Amino acid sequence: MRLGVSFFVLAFLGAATADARNATGYVGGEKTTIKVTDVNGKDVEIRTAKAFRVMAKAARKKGVTLSIRSGFRSYDKQAKLYKKYRQGEGNLAAPPGFSNHESGRALDIYITDHKAFDWLQAHGAQYGFHRTVPGEAWHWEYLGDEDKTVARPSKHKRDRKTS
Ligand SMILES: [Zn+2]
């Protein structure tokens, strides 16, 4: 059985790190290199992914399924979304280089019913996730341990309130 357990642990670690790769992200218009990994077929910045996995597991125990609709976005992807937004289609989008989806910290989470949203509102902050864009129930940002009680830490006040 010992062998089985070791294999399981290795397989788990492998799954968590094997597909991590470098990607070009943006923070406030400045190019930066970030690490992204795969979460159920979506690219997600590695620290955000780790925190999301822990949060999703806790939610699952309460019968709530959290899944990601959009995680890390490349500059090109954000440029396309911004163009759509400017043309009057699609959701509010920040100009390319300025979305927190490009810094890796923002996740759009499927809000299919009130269960997922209510759970996130009540428990997201415990896992470092905060809702930062008014009117976008699905947009959550991983702010780590910076502040677990305040919905929008003052440190981020100057951030654009767009996705
Ligand atoms: Zn978003």
More confident residue, 36 or 8: 36
Q: Would you state the pLDDT for residue 154?
A: 40
* C-alpha radius of gyration, the chain, whole number: 16
Q: Would you state the pLDDT for residue 149?
A: 46
The residues facing 45 across adjacent strands are: 36
Ligand 1 mean position to 26 CA, how many Å? 15
d(CA 58, CA 120): 11
d(CA 50, CA 61): 17
Ligand 1 mean position to 71 CA, how many Å? 8
CATH architecture of the region 21-156? 2-Layer Sandwich (3.30)
Chain segment 107-126, per-residue pLDDT in tens: 999 998 899 999 999 999 99
Query: Which residue is associated with the tokens 């043309």?
Result: 87
pLDDT higher than threshold 70 for residue 156: no
Domain ranges of the chain: 21-156
Q: Would you state the pLDDT for residue 113?
A: 84
Strand 30-39 versus strand 21-27 pairing type: antiparallel
Ligand 1 mean position to 142 CA, how many Å? 12
Ligand 1 mean position to 4 CA, how many Å? 40
Mean pLDDT for the chain overall = 86
d(CA 30, CA 52): 25
More confident residue, 67 or 134: 67
Ligand 1 mean position to 2 CA, how many Å? 43
Treating both helix axes as pointing N-terminal to C-terminal, what angle do 114-123 and 46-61 enclose, rounded to 10 degrees?
110
Confidence of residue 144 (pLDDT cuts 50, 70, 90): confident
Ligand 1 mean position to 107 CA, how many Å? 6
Query: How crowded is residue 18: how many other Cβ atoms within 10 Å of its Cβ?
Result: 11
Q: Would you state the pLDDT for residue 161?
A: 62
d(CA 69, CA 50): 16
Q: Would you state the pLDDT for residue 50?
A: 96
The least confident of 17-26, 34-43, 56-65 is 17-26
Chain segment 52-91, per-residue pLDDT in tens: 999 999 999 999 999 999 999 999 999 999 999 999 998 8
Phi and psi dihedrals of 126, rounded to 5?
-60, -25
Q: What is the mean pLDDT of residues 135-143?
A: 95
